[in-house]
Structure 1
Amino acid sequence: MPETSFVYVDVFASAPLTGAPLTLVTDADGLTDPQMRAIAREFNQSETTFVQSPTRPGATRRLRSFTPTGEEVYGAGHNALGAWLWLAGPGGLDGGGDFTQEIGEDVLPVHVRHDDGRVVVTMEQSPPVFGAVVSDRAGLAAALGLREEDLVADRPAQVVSTGAGHLLVPVRDRAAVDRAAPDDARLTAALRQVGGEGCYLYTGDTVDKDATAYARFFNPAMGIAEDPATGTAAGPLAALLAAGEPGGQGEVTVIVEQGHSMGRPSRITVTVAGPRVRVSGSGLVVARGTMTLPEAS
């Protein structure tokens, strides 16, 4: 029976069993869409990423990512960063440099460097698009299992996209973020109402003094109960925070803490300079294996 190789990568992590776990299928050129969806269901990670040869001019690799429910997701987050952590080492690209990744309709720049034995990946995301604002704050709070007073009174919950549109919800403090217990059906309805894919709760009440925000991510419509590190949400958050900086000029660096409530702490670094949003992080390959597939019908 046919087999396919895979690796497990802990992304936005400094040690094994922290950060965001990613299953990466390293040679997916021969796989069909139904096979990729079935493999993603089998691994049951928030996302499983498949490395393919590019179909667009100028791209180094094509990356496709699926959730456990079989939904294909786009944007350059931990799904893509984990792929480049592998590609820059065992994946055969040998060392650092500048590359490009084909994700959906986009071909986006990637920079890889080595720092004290670690691979550090910096990925360009799409320019930020600021979307709808939630009008029913009480309903949103209830959908999150919170009280309306847990939400920051003078800051709206807004959808922002740098490749994937997520609802960014400012919350009073870390205790309230940790107390959130979403009602999946109500949160899904609230997200659909404003055109959001997932929900990113955040606060400036951080664990480490050098961090900017402490966050949790929920995406029930895509089968993601909670994700420990979400680059496609950290990018929009950094863009939103940078837009509020006095003058709105220059480069702003945002460090997001995530995953603490799941016992998988992670740190995501995002730099914003005008419309340019770049997400950086490291991680490590923690497991390798092969999966047996059914014969093609």
Structure 2
Amino acid sequence: MDVPFAWVDVFTTTPLAGNPLALVPDADALDAATMAAIARELNQSETTFLVRPDDPGADHRLRSFTPGGVEVFGAGHNAMGAWVWLALSGRLDPARDTFVQQIGPDLLTVRVSRRAAQGAEVSMEQSAPRFLGEVTDRPALAAALGLDTGALAARPAEVASTGAEHLLVPVRDGAGLDAAQPDTAHLRALLADVGAEGCYVYTLAVDPASGLDAAARFFNPTVGIAEDPATGTAAGPLAAVLVRDGIVRDPAAVVVEQGRRLGRPSRIRLAVDGPRVTIAGTGVVAAEGVLHL
């Protein structure tokens, strides 16, 4: 069969920036093994497949796989890119701006606005935040990230989730953030020990004039991602933690920068209102193709 796919750059308004997503629409004929093989072939941090929902309350169901063939959940760039493509390809009812997506067992609200000059803008709810405990072994954290212990900030590292469990590790400044060079085996073992999927290293030492609340990098050797340029499933729990601790200036407008070290700077916009975490961003379709299977 011939299987069309698209390349969507997420958290950007221009191609070749932000976080690239491979998207396969109309994927009902593909089984999970084939989806995993396609994700390995396309070799992006995630490849998302659009399939018919099995819950009558959903408009679309999304399944996402990493290059390692692992299916992952949570609403991040994997989901945002899918809705950007749906909007720009004319697949959405123009009389509506609110939809429901099914990701795993979760039904999550999505709002889409279409802006012809700048692609599409999507905002979507994530799962309610869960704070799963602090990680206090600072020497182990530093060693896993290739850092000196002194590069870590005084704030504790912790595992949190808004749909996917990630370890959030604060460092003192941008120099420490740039210096992080994880030991893959060590970090994978540490993440398994603390019950986390990926590691979000972040700093609060950002220029107040930049409009940022934090800058971050994401590493996920658990599912075969060396480094990801924009990770909504990690930015969500970070925003929830910063609001919980009273650190952010405006809980309705939390901004995290990611991807600068990879040459793909991305700004992830979030809002936190009690148990409700919303992530927003733009995206553009950068390429299209066909797989011949």
Measure, in 2, the Cα distance between the counterparts of 1:89 and 1:260. Answer: 27
1:38 maps to: 37
2:252 aligned counterpart, secondary structure: strand
2:88 maps to: 89
Output aligned runs, 1:1-297, within 5 Å: 2-95=1-94, 97-115=97-115, 117-118=117-118, 119-153=120-154, 155-206=155-206, 209-245=210-246, 251-293=251-293
Tell me the alpha carbon deviations over residues 20-55 of structure 1, each in whole angstroms, 9 at most, x when there is no partner.
000000110110111101000000111000001111
Identify the range of structure 1 (196-205 vs 70-79) with the bigger mean alpha-carbon deviation: 196-205
Tell me if the contact between 1:260 and 1:266 (Cα under 8 Å) persists in the aligned partners.
yes
The percent of aligned pairs where both chains have the same amino acid is 57
Tell me the alpha carbon deviations over residues 151-187 of structure 1, each in whole angstroms, 9 at most, x when there is no partner.
112x110000000010000110011101100000100
Letter in 1 for 2:178: D
**Superposed displacement of residue 9, structure 1:** 0.3
2:268 aligned counterpart, secondary structure: strand
Q: Could you state the TM-score of these two structures normalised by the residue count of structure 2?
A: 0.96
Tell me if the contact between 1:251 and 1:274 (Cα under 8 Å) persists in the aligned partners.
no
Measure, in 2, the Cα distance between the counterparts of 1:61 and 1:94. Answer: 13
Measure, in 1, the Cα distance between the counterparts of 2:114 and 2:13. Answer: 14
Measure, in 1, the Cα distance between the counterparts of 2:89 and 2:218. Answer: 30
1:282 aligned counterpart, secondary structure: strand
Tell me if the contact between 2:87 and 2:114 (Cα under 8 Å) persists in the aligned partners.
no
Unaligned runs of 5+ in 1: none
Letter in 2 for 1:134: V
**Superposed displacement of residue 14, structure 1:** 2.1
Q: Could you state the TM-score of these two structures normalised by the residue count of structure 1?
A: 0.94
**Superposed displacement of residue 58, structure 1:** 1.0
Measure, in 1, the Cα distance between the counterparts of 2:50 and 2:132. Answer: 31
2:210 aligned counterpart, secondary structure: coil
1:279 aligned counterpart, secondary structure: strand
Measure, in 1, the Cα distance between the counterparts of 2:146 and 2:205. Answer: 19
Measure, in 2, the Cα distance between the counterparts of 1:268 and 1:206. Answer: 15
Unaligned runs of 5+ in 2: none
2:188 aligned counterpart, secondary structure: helix
Tell me if the contact between 2:158 and 2:169 (Cα under 8 Å) persists in the aligned partners.
yes
2:88 aligned counterpart, secondary structure: coil
**RMSD after superposition:** 1.6
Measure, in 2, the Cα distance between the counterparts of 1:26 and 1:174. Answer: 39
Tell me if the contact between 2:5 and 2:24 (Cα under 8 Å) persists in the aligned partners.
yes
Letter in 1 for 2:7: Y
**Superposed displacement of residue 135, structure 1:** 2.0
